[in-house]
């Protein structure tokens, strides 16, 4: 995942154009770890007013995206774009605006530029996925798993199933999980 800023006037900042080789190295490491579907997600954080005054893709981002498509496709990696804008009312943040690039699926907010070449999951990724799945299946809170998440506590080095919004303390060692991140 990479983040860039699109300004209200259509200009762009932090396009990371010169860091593509490092990004390819990171994606290659994920594939070597055994991940079956490796993609780059480019997040475009748009300033308030961008979406009402500009088209997406703005000319300022086209060269960066074109270079990424060429390199990612050559290596079999996928590529998605996710633009969103903070809505404002004066100085007050009032939520997010996202685009729906696919009219038949208004919940889809990513532009799927390039599909990843899929692989079968391999170790150590497959082992990690199996361990997380086994943890969830054995969890006593599994029947009440709605709006919960699996986290790893760095203090006690254990997986935990916690509520997404209200819980941020490890049930095992009482460590603050937010400070750990």
Transcribe 67-126 into DSSP letters.
Answer: HHHHHHHHTT-EEEEEEEEEEEETTEEEEEEE--S-TT-TT---EEEE--------TTHH
Q: What is the pLDDT of residue 18?
A: 67
Say if 120 falls within a structural domain: no
State both tokens at 150: 């699996």
Radius of gyration of the chain (CA): 20
Nearest CA to 67 out of 32, 113, 10, 109 is that of 113
Assess whether 101 and 138 both reside in one domain. Answer: no
Say if 65 falls within a structural domain: yes
Instruction: Single out the residue in 114, 139, 163 at which a domain terminates.
Output: 114
Q: What is the pTM of this model?
A: 0.78
DSSP 18: G
Assess whether 50 and 134 both reside in one domain. Answer: no
Domain housing 30:
2-114
Per run of 10 residues, the mean pLDDT along the chain (length 181 residues) is: 85 74 94 95 89 85 89 95 85 82 87 92 95 90 75 92 84 87 66
d(CA 104, CA 42): 23
d(CA 6, CA 8): 7
Q: What is the pLDDT of residue 2?
A: 82
Assess whether 32 and 107 both reside in one domain. Answer: yes
């Amino acid at each position: 995942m990479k983040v860039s800023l699109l300004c209200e006037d259509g200009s762009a900042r932090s396009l990371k154009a010169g860091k593509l080789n490092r990004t390819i190295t990171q994606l290659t490491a994920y594939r070597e770890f055994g991940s079956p579907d490796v993609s780059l997600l480019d997040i475009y954080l748009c300033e308030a007013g961008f979406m009402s005054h500009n088209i997406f893709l703005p000319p300022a981002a086209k060269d960066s995206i074109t270079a990424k498509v060429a390199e990612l496709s050559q290596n079999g990696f996928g590529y998605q774009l996710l633009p969103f804008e903070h809505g404002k009312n004066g100085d007050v943040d009032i939520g997010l605006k996202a685009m729906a690039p696919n009219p038949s699926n208004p919940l889809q907010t990513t532009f799927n530029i390039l599909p990843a070449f899929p692989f079968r999951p391999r170790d150590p990724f497959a082992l990690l996925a199996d361990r997380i799945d086994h943890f969830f299946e054995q969890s006593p809170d599994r029947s009440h798993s709605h709006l919960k998440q699996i986290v790893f506590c760095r203090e006690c080095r254990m997986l935990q199933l916690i509520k997404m919004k209200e819980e941020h303390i490890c049930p095992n060692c009482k460590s603050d999980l937010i400070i750990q991140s």
